[in-house]
A and B are shown apart, each in its own frame.
Chain A
């Protein structure tokens, strides 16, 4: 069965510093991996995805994520954090084997960026 883990409930970083939000996954086939962001009182917004190709994928708002097959990880990164990046971040995985559709979401990591 597929699963996704976000080991940190909360990440704190100072504005201007690099940030990393961690995600590990487990699937039986080829993983489709996603990051979503949720701002207060809003729905989840798509940030970026990895389906195939380059291991480093770039997404919205200057975020990027690195797919590491050997470590089954898909960590979200940004070189320089902004206060406005403070939000709840969800990693999600879909099993691409056989055209699987079901997307599993992690529990979420709350990012606080301090000015």
Chain B
């Protein structure tokens, strides 16, 4: 099983619909992140969470919300989807304790298309 699992892998939704992307991890990491990837723009941070009670906005949080249901689960919601939210979304985790390599572990991504 993957260390970081994202569901669904692909989703097509209509403008105005609410949609939730889910992320779960078995790494035991305390920090979790949501990024979106657009061609030529790299990865941009949407939201991040350092623990269950901690939620922070990233650089492009407008139109998104998140929920950290448990240390292992971090979901991203689009309250009312719009076409320019069509992108590849990644969940990532990291460990604040410095016992690992300071890098991130990424999920396989969710390809979201808003029509």
Contact = CB atoms under 8 A, between A and B. Distances in A.
**Same complex:** yes
A43 B103 contact: no
B27 to A, nearest CB: 12
A85 B66 CA distance: 35
Contact of A90 (B43, B96, B107): B43
Contact of B102 (A42, A49, A102): A49
A56 interface: no
B34 interface: no
Interface residues of A, number: 21
A46 B57 CA distance: 24
B99 interface: no
Interface of B: 4, 31, 35, 40-43, 45, 50, 90, 92, 94, 96, 101-109
13 contacts: A41-B109, A42-B108, A43-B90, A43-B109, A49-B102, A90-B43, A101-B96, A102-B45, A105-B43, A106-B42, A107-B40, A107-B41, A108-B42
Given A44-B92, A90-B42, A105-B35, 10 more contacts: A34-B103, A41-B108, A43-B90, A44-B43, A44-B106, A101-B94, A102-B45, A106-B42, A107-B40, A108-B42
Interface of A: 9, 32, 34, 36, 41-46, 49, 51, 90, 94, 101-103, 105-108
